[in-house]
């Protein structure tokens, strides 16, 4: 089935990036959030990021204007339910995601594919509480979405081939590259990335290095574009902790134990860039 319209649920960090790339690739986008304010901010940010692409001559002004015209915001999930492909990009909390899918169900078009941008939660479990586990899969973008080349496509136990192929065609139309992952905790990218970030926090916690030396070591010693603590602030420390908990619970191995310092920062509300304070101070 050819996808023409995409519904994005959640206008936060990931949702606005997803709406941005989908609209730029020619899809009609319905961007949904419970808060009109969040959607207004998302649209302003999409415009700013498209302007940046125009100024760097990645896209033309006409492409930017057509992309903006393809994005419609709505606080009603009913408007999203009639699209060809729904991508849920809400907070990384399983109950919230279940509630969103349950709220969509009564109005879904029969052909609509449901996906989640979850970075770690079981696709099979999310799918099991919908009416279409065979038309359900993981569609996981990386942050910042307009820049990062990869999309992880995760099949749940019941996902059928036409659903996978339709999603793969979307990734290709976006000009991105898909990595196919099986449905195990945190899939591929976060299974590898998050233990590294968690280990960097342990390295800080145990006084092996300070924030600066840890980040410099990985940037200059391993050619990472960002140090692990800077990257944790960028992703959000609450998201990092949530993913470590999924790994720890799902794989029942102490090697995934979240560092107590990471937990403490989250409890303090020091969530990284989004709260202006994390391992770095952005105030
Ligand atoms: N929209 C559009 N373009 C953007 C953008 C955005 N939101 N953010 C950055 N860019 C563009 C810039 O315009 C610039 O373009 P040019 O190359 O044409 O000049 C390019 O990206 C680089 O940006 P900057 O020059 O501003 O900054 P930088 O060189 O320091 O790069 C970065 C910034 C791309 C974020 C880089 O530091 C990086 O790659 N960091 C690592 C990011 C990463 O690892 N992401 C994955 C996180 S894990 C994840 O997302 C999964 C999960 O589930 C948690």
Per the prediction, the chain carries an average pLDDT of: 97
pLDDT reading at 118 higher than 90: yes
Q: Other C-beta atoms within 10 Å of 92: how many?
A: 22
pLDDT tens digits, 51-106: 999 999 999 999 999 999 999 999 999 999 999 999 999 998 999 999 999 999 99
**Can you give the pLDDT at residue 278?**
98
Please give the model's pTM, rounded to 2 decimal places: 0.94
Residues annotated catalytic, as ranges: 119, 140, 152, 190
Look at ligand 1, atom 11, and give the residue with the nearest C-alpha: 147
What confidence tens digit (pLDDT) does each residue in 120-158 have?
999 999 999 999 999 999 999 999 999 999 999 999 999
Q: What is the pLDDT of residues 6-58, one digit of tens each?
A: 999 999 989 999 999 999 999 999 999 999 999 999 999 999 999 999 999 99
* CATH classification for the domain delimited by 190-274, as one of 3.20.20.70, 2.130.10.10, 1.10.1040.10, 1.20.1250.20: 1.10.1040.10
3-state helix, strand, coil in the chain (%, to 5): 50, 15, 35
Among 2, 68, 59, smallest CA distance to 29 is for 68
What is the topology classification, in CATH, of domain 5-182? Rossmann fold (3.40.50)
CATH 3.40.50.720 occupies which residues in the chain? 5-182
Residues of the chain with CATH 1.10.1040.10: 190-274
pLDDT for the residue 1 = 79
Ligand 1, CB within 6 Å, residue ranges: 49, 52-53, 56, 58, 119, 142-144, 146-148, 189-190, 193, 225-226, 231, 235, 239
**φ and ψ of 117, to 5 deg:** -90, 20
């Amino acid at each position: 089935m050819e996808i023409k319209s995409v519904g994005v649920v959640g206008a936060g960090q990931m949702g606005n990036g997803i709406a941005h790339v989908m609209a730029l690739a020619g899809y009609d986008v319905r961007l949904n959030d419970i808060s009109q304010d969040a959607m207004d901010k998302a649209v302003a940010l999409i415009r700013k990021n498209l302007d940046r692409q125009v100024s760097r001559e990645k896209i033309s002004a006409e492409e930017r204007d057509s992309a903006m015209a393809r994005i419609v915001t709505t606080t009603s999930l009913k408007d999203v339910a009639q699209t060809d492909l729904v991508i849920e990009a809400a907070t990384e909390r399983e109950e919230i995601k279940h509630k969103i899918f349950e709220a969509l169900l009564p109005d879904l078009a029969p052909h609509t594919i449901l996906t989640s941008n979850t970075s770690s939660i079981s696709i099979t479990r999310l799918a099991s509480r919908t009416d279409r586990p065979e038309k359900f899969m993981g569609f996981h973008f990386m942050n910042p979405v307009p820049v990062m080349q990869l999309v992880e496509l995760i099949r749940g136990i019941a996902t059928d081939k036409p659903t996978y192929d339709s999603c793969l065609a979307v990734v290709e139309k976006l000009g991105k590259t898909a990595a196919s992952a099986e449905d195990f905790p945190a899939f591929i990218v976060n299974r590898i990335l998050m233990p590294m970030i968690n280990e960097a926090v342990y390295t800080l916690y145990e006084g092996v290095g300070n924030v600066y030396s840890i980040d410099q070591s990985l940037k200059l010693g391993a050619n990472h574009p960002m140090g692990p603590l800077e990257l944790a602030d960028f992703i959000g420390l609450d998201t990092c902790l949530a993913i470590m908990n999924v790994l720890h619970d799902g794989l029942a191995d102490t090697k995934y134990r979240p560092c107590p310092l990471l937990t403490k920062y989250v409890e303090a509300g020091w969530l990284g860039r989004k709260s202006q304070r994390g391992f770095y101070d952005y105030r």
